[in-house]
Amino acid sequence: MDHINQKIIVYIENNHYQDWKLCLKSKLKSLKSSNVEIDSRNLELSCTDIKEIIKISSQHNCKIISFCSTSPKTIVSAQSLGLKSNFSIESDSKNTSNLNEKNITFSRTHFHQGTVRSGEYLDSPGDLLILGDVNPGAKVSAEGNIIIWGRLLGIAHAGSKGNSHATISALQLRPVQLRIAKKVARGPKDKAQLGIAEQARIDSEEIIISPLENT
């Protein structure tokens, strides 16, 4: 736990604990009324998990003000609930191939920061994480999963080399077209529910869209 500008960072993990809830409760016991940032490292937390963290923290008179994580799913879940979120990257000189202000490319995951605008095309040989919107007229593609920390309004193709287990996640999933492996679907026409991130995946040979916290 670190004190930074009257904010306390609480690190939660499963190591040495039965689960992260026990870890969180143990660390909050020593705190009094505080503003807390949760650093969950690489734990993949759903919206339901984050709501549970908020509940546990309030029982210890602590307020969650932000999240930090190396897990894209955790960041998307926190952001969908309106919480400030910071995506951190575990740098490793062995698997870092390129680094600049706009994007960071690892052997497995490609990160793009900023809006993907109409006419632009992004393609990744692994997973693709976009910190921004994908506008109408834009296309994004990945051999693995696609996670969008923003709105998906263009075209997305996950599992582009045939991976039918790939998924597409976004804070607002209203694309022109979705593709996973060889399956194709149109985006839903109904309005997105505020505060609920969504995920598209193949189930029973069809692309279905469901709340991210239920997947």
Which CATH number fits the domain that encloses residue 52? 3.30.70
pLDDT (tens digit per residue) in 60-85: 889 998 888 888 778 778 877 778 88
Q: Do residues 141 and 54 both lie within one domain? A: no
Main-chain dihedrals φ then ψ at residue 14, nearest 5 degrees = -90, -20
CATH code of the domain covering residue 102:
2.160.20.70
Nearest to 167 by CA among 106, 114, 210: 210
Q: Are residues 106 and 66 in the same domain?
A: no
Domain count for the chain: 2
* 104 shares a domain with 196: yes
**50 and 145 inside one domain:** no
Looking at the fold, whether 138 and 107 belong to one and the same domain comes out as yes
Query: Over the stretch 136-161, which tens digit does the pLDDT of each residue have?
Result: 999 999 999 999 988 999 999 999 99
pTM: 0.60
Q: Tokens 């529910």 belong to which residue?
A: 193
Sign, CA dihedral 93-99-101-106, equals negative
> 52 vs 111, which has greater pLDDT?
52
For 22-46, what is the mean pLDDT? 85
- Alpha-carbon distance of 47 to 76, in angstroms, equals 9
Query: Exposed, middle or buried, 167 (CB in 10 Å: 0-12/13-18/19+)?
Result: buried
Q: Same domain, yes or no, for 102 and 201?
A: yes
Asked which of 59, 87, 115 is the last residue of a domain, the reply is 87
The residue from 30, 61, 87 where one domain ends is 87
Domain extent at residue 201: 96-214
Q: What is the DSSP string of 35-103?
A: EEEEE-TT----HHHHHHHHHHHHHTTEEEEEEEES-HHHHHHHHHTT-EEEE-----TTTEEEE-SSE
Q: Are residues 70 and 151 in the same domain?
A: no
Asked if 118 and 75 sit in the same domain, the reply is no
Last residue of a domain, one of 70, 87, 104: 87
- Span 85-106, average pLDDT: 45
Nearest 5°: the CA angle 27, 61, 51 is: 80
Residues β-bridged to residue 201: 208
Q: Distance between CA 158 and CA 161 in Å, rounded?
A: 9
Same domain, 121 and 141: yes
64 lies in the same domain as 123: no
- 102 and 196 housed in the same domain: yes
Q: What is the mean pLDDT of residues 39-52?
A: 88
Rounded distance between C-alpha atoms, residue 183 and residue 48, angstroms: 29
pLDDT at residue 89, as a whole number: 61
- Do residues 168 and 134 lie in contact, with contact meaning Cβ atoms separated by under 8 Å? no
**Residue-level pLDDT at 28:** 87
- Sort residue 47 into left (φ over 0), alpha (ψ -120 to 50) or beta: alpha
Q: Residues 52, 107: one domain?
A: no
